[in-house]
């Protein structure tokens, strides 16, 4: 049985908590021991948010220490680069090509500087907003990123595991959009 550590990084309002809970529930359905922890910034919208998820045999703590993460799923570039020290040497990053500068910051790195930091590790850059819009709603960016994360094959889950869970959580058009966003995110890494 695998033992993995995942960090989901971004800002408030991007659906990081939803990604963490969907992953956690899907892994528990496959009989893994799962632990999920969250760090919220001062602001619910736009503040720094990180979700830590660990799973495997025996007791697992949600704390992901420096150099331990197998995968970082980043929904915003600055927050993703901020969490890079947590990535293990052979870990991977899946990142949304989206920059939301902090409003009170005097010095903001450019998109090019942030992508340069990511080029030092195995990383996949996804235009999640474009794919979410193609699926039917910008709100589905988190499902695009979840699909992209699955495509790395680092997690012990596949598309049907998540589709099964989404069909229990959502109905109607919301379900259709989330399913399409998940599929488009998955294909963006596989192509």
The pair of structure tokens assigned to 100 is: 């939301």
CATH top-level class of 4-100+110-188: alpha beta
**How far is Cα 79 from Cα 33, in angstroms, rounded to an integer?**
27
Q: What is the block-wise mean pLDDT of the chain (191 residues), using blocks of 10 residues?
A: 89 91 95 89 70 88 92 97 96 97 85 95 97 97 98 96 95 97 96 67
Long-range CB contacts for residues 41-45, cutoff 8 Å, separation at least 24 = 41/11, 41/12, 43/12, 44/12, 44/13, 45/11, 45/12, 45/13
**How far is Cα 128 from Cα 4, in angstroms, rounded to an integer?**
24
Residue of 97, 91, 90 lying closest to 114 (CA atoms): 97
pTM of the model: 0.94
């Amino acid at each position: 049985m695998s033992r993995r550590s995942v960090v989901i990084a971004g800002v408030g309002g991007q659906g990081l908590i939803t990604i963490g809970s969907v992953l956690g529930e899907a892994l528990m359905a496959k009989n893994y021991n799962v632990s999920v922890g969250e760090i919220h910034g001062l602001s619910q919208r736009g503040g720094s948010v990180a979700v830590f998820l660990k799973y495997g045999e025996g007791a697992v703590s949600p704390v992901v220490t420096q150099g331990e993460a197998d995968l970082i799923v980043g929904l915003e570039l600055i927050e993703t680069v901020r969490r890079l020290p947590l990535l293990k040497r052979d870990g991977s990053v899946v990142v949304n090509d989206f920059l939301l500068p902090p409003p009170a910051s005097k010095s903001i790195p450019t998109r090019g500087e942030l992508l340069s930091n990511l080029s030092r590790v195995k990383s996949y850059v996804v235009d999640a907003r474009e794919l979410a819009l193609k699926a039917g709603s910008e709100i589905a960016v988190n499902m695009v990123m979840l699909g992209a994360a699955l495509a790395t094959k680092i997690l012990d889950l596949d598309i049907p595991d998540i589709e099964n869970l989404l069909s229990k959580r959502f109905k109607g058009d919301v379900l259709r959009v989330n399913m399409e966003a998940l599929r488009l995110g998955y294909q963006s890494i596989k192509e």
